[in-house]
């Protein structure tokens, strides 16, 4: 008989509830300081925080040199 591939099975995980992410205050001073360094303008700020709109461009991965 042929042998199948041997691999690690995932097995059954616990059937418990998923941990919920805690609510984060985007106006917290630490969050604002972080945003100051990563956002370039107001539209960028909103997009990074998850407030996107239909006309917004897609994320740019980086420049190719």
Average pLDDT over residues 39-63: 79
CA atoms within 13 A on the CB side of 65: 0
Tell me the mean pLDDT in the region 8-14. 63
Q: Is the pTM of this model over 0.85?
A: no
pLDDT in tens, 21-50: 888 888 899 989 998 999 988 888 888 888
For residues 58 and 47, what is the distance between their CA atoms, to the nearest angstrom?
10
How many whole angstroms separate alpha carbon 18 and alpha carbon 53? 29
Span 10-20, average pLDDT:
70
Q: With pLDDT > 90 as the criterion, what percentage of the chain qualifies? A: 8
5: number of CA atoms within 13 Å, CB side? 3
**Distance separating alpha carbons of residues 8 and 35, to the nearest angstrom:** 41
């Amino acid at each position: 008989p042929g042998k199948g591939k041997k691999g690690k099975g995932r097995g059954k995980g616990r059937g418990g509830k998923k941990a919920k992410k805690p609510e984060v205050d985007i106006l917290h001073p630490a969050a604002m300081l972080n945003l100051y360094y990563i956002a370039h303008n107001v539209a960028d700020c909103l997009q990074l925080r998850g407030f996107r709109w239909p006309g917004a461009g897609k994320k740019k991965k980086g420049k190719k040199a």
